[in-house]
Chain A
Amino acid sequence: MNSIWQTTRFTLLEIFNMRAFQLLVLIALVLLPLAATVFSNLFLLDIGKVRMDILIAGNRIIASLYILVIAVMLMANDISKGMIHLFLTPPSSRREYLIGRFFGLLTGLAIILLAASIGGEAVLGLTFSEKDPIYRHGLEQGDGVLLALFTFYQHISILAAALFICTWATSMAEMFVFSSCILMLAWTLPPVLNAMQTTEVLQRTPEWIASLLKSTSYFLPNLNGSEIGLALAHGLPLESVWPHIAEHTGYALLMLGLALFSLSRRDL
């Protein structure tokens, strides 16, 4: 247990010293809210909604970049360059190393999204102070925190999947490419599957492509959750959150289990 805590602490110290991490925090805290405030003024009435849209997209991109640029690179450095041996001195085991890394990276993600939630709340506060209710229908103070929480839980599963990839991929390039593919598929596949629910699209799509897409979707967490994003942007009641949370938690546990199994058998 002590080794896990030490690895978590060390991971956090490493992350804090990374320029990429500091830049992502700066973007989440300052640049994203600024972009949301400036670009939303191009619109007519739904200015609050446009600001939330920019925050939603920004939070997702920042969280995805964190996984690719920080988490994957850190793991690649450990495994490809042999830095992992520094952590695996007795009594520390491979299992404790991986769990410690996972919690450290998760805490780093939480810190970035905490910065994003502060930035988001500042944008909402500004919207409430300068805009009449007609410009911010349904939005409430606190939606920025909800958005950050929503982004956080959706990326736990992706982080676990990236760790799993890092435990068996042979080089930094492989780890980066495969993790990017997982992110890209998780980003783009749900809208395609949604579109395929409609009869018109279903009739035009060959059966084997439909089956292939459906079976691929089983291997990925539903990162999309676009209906939750739309509900947040318009202040509508959130209805389908619990199935999403259950799905992401289950997927994260599965990937973490596979990562532990894969690392325990890997020739380091």
Chain B
Amino acid sequence: MPAFFSRQLHSTLIILGLAGYTLAKEMPDTTLNTKLSSLTESGPSPLLAQAMFAGPAPGLAADSNLLGVFNVYSNIINPSISDKENSASWNYLESYLRHASMLDPYFYDVYRLSSGLLAFQSEHTRDAITIMKHGAEYRPWDWETPLIAGFLAHDLLQDNRLAFDLMKLATSRPGAPPLAIGLAARFLADAEDNKTGLQFLHYMKSIMPKGYAKPIDERIKKLEQEWGTEP
């Protein structure tokens, strides 16, 4: 080894290392892109494995699943992907949301994305509503999630029985708007008959705070005129 290199070995190694590292950094890294793409395409890890790995911090695992949703959605909106890839991506998106809701059932962003993204994909509407129903059971202060889920069940699934159950859940929550009561009555009437819908409204009037009585009365009056039915 030349004397210069043996004396300045550490400086030589640092300079060579820095040069190699900088050059490599500037090169386009296709390997990384492939890896990230395959990571997104593989979907979330099994729920139990995630729970084990997260241990006492399942909330963070739920957060990471939500980042997975953003990742998959960026794939979905890419116009160049095939229908097969698109369908697989929606399945992964559903899995990410479901896992996030199982790991942290109080996480509101999960239900916001379930209603805003997943529900409008016809194959996954029922999945989205199931996720929202699961969240509504854990969040006793939240009337919005069951109300939106109920409306989606009526509008997208035409399942008025499910829509009524969810709307009824929403009406039992503090601060739920009278609109929820009216919608619940309408869905019940569609699922059963007009008389049952009006009976539900009378029942709600009897158990709700007095402030709700006026809008419920107005609703009863309107529906009686519309349906011509006496409870």
Contacts and interface: CB of A to CB of B under 8 A. Distances in A.
A241 to B, nearest CB: 14
B57 A49 contact: no
- Name, among B48, B57, B63, the residue most crowded by chain A CB atoms within 10 Å (CB to CB): B57
B109 interface: yes
B59 A53 contact: yes
Nearest to B105: A230
A230 B59 contact: yes
B73 interface: no
A230 B48 contact: no
Interface residues of B, number: 23
B112 interface: yes
Contacts of B59: 49-50, 52-53, 56, 229-230, 233
Contacts of B60: 53-54, 56-57
A46 interface: yes
Given A45-B112, A191-B48, A192-B48, A56 B63 contact: no
Contacts of B112: 44-45
Given A44-B109, A229-B58, 5 more contacts: A45-B108, A57-B56, A188-B52, A201-B48, A226-B57
A225 B52 contact: no
Interface string B49-79: 0011111111110110011001000000000
Interface in A97-138: 137
Contacts of B96: none
A262 interface: no
Contacts of B113: 44
A239 to B, nearest CB: 14
A236 B52 CA distance: 23
Interface in A42-78: 42-46, 49-50, 52-54, 56-57, 60
A56 B107 contact: no
A187 B48 contact: no
A249 interface: no
A216 B59 CA distance: 26
A56 B57 CA distance: 6
A57 B57 contact: yes
A195 interface: yes
A56 B56 contact: yes
A226 B58 contact: yes
Contact of A191 (B52, B62, B67): B52
Contacts of A195: 48, 51
A138 to B, nearest CB: 9
B104 interface: yes
A260 B32 CA distance: 53
A226 B54 CA distance: 9
A57 B60 CA distance: 7
Interface of A: 42-46, 49-50, 52-54, 56-57, 60, 137, 154, 187-188, 190-192, 194-195, 201, 223-226, 229-230, 233-234, 236
A184 to B, nearest CB: 9
Nearest to A154: B56
Contact of B52 (A42, A46, A57, A192): A192
Contacts of B109: 43-46
A60 B106 contact: no
A201 B46 CA distance: 13
Contacts of A42: 67, 70
A187 B54 CA distance: 8
A93 B38 CA distance: 60
A172 to B, nearest CB: 26
A224 B48 contact: no
Given A45-B108, A46-B108, A187 B67 contact: no
A73 to B, nearest CB: 23
B55 A53 contact: no
Smallest CB-CB A-B distances: 8 pairs:
A191-B51, A53-B59, A187-B55, A57-B57, A188-B52, A234-B106, A53-B60, A57-B60
A191 B104 contact: no
B116 to A, nearest CB: 9
A229 B63 contact: no
B192 to A, nearest CB: 33
Contact of B56 (A44, A50, A54, A223): A223
A224 B106 contact: no
Contact of B55 (A137, A191, A230): A191
Interface in B72-113: 104, 106-109, 112-113
Contacts of B56: 56-57, 60, 154, 187, 190, 223-226, 229
B51 to A, nearest CB: 4
A57 B56 CA distance: 7
